[in-house]
Structure 1
Amino acid sequence: MKARIYLADGMICADLENGSQLVHTDAVELADQLWALNVAHDEVRLVDWHEDPDRAPLAGQKIAIHARLRLHENGYPD
């Protein structure tokens, strides 16, 4: 399932292709929620700062989300 991730009101938001939305303050926790919904790291699109500088996640948040999803994909214990 694909997800589009962006910032809104200090929260990290993920809009899923099924129409639902996840919201969290912590990138790792959001990634865990995405994984629980079968979202893989290659299905995640993060808003780029060139596209929308006010809603683009910070570099550390982007890294945390992708790294955590990759850990899950590689068998990291739940």
Structure 2
Amino acid sequence: MANSPQAKKRARQIERRTEVNKARRSRIRTFLRKVEEAITGGDQAAAADALKAVQPEVMRGVSKGVLHKNTASRKISRLSARVKAMAA
């Protein structure tokens, strides 16, 4: 347990950041799930719209430090490929 005032303050700050990051991660997952559901539902128009909505959200997660850049790029790339494959 933190004993020094500095360590106690850092613990409080980490607690607040953790809540914010959880909310951001949850929001990103919700957007990703919408794309997944549209793909499994077979609705290409909805999947394409959901993909357009998820891209800025995922990249915002990168800029906020919630996701790694390569992870975000990989997720978007794979989703794009799946949406594109629906057209064929």
CA radius of gyration, larger in: 2
TM-score w.r.t. the length of structure 1 is 0.42
Larger fraction in helix: 2
* TM-score normalised by the chain length of structure 2: 0.39
More strand by share: 1
Structure number with greater CO (CA < 8 Å, separation at least 6) is 1
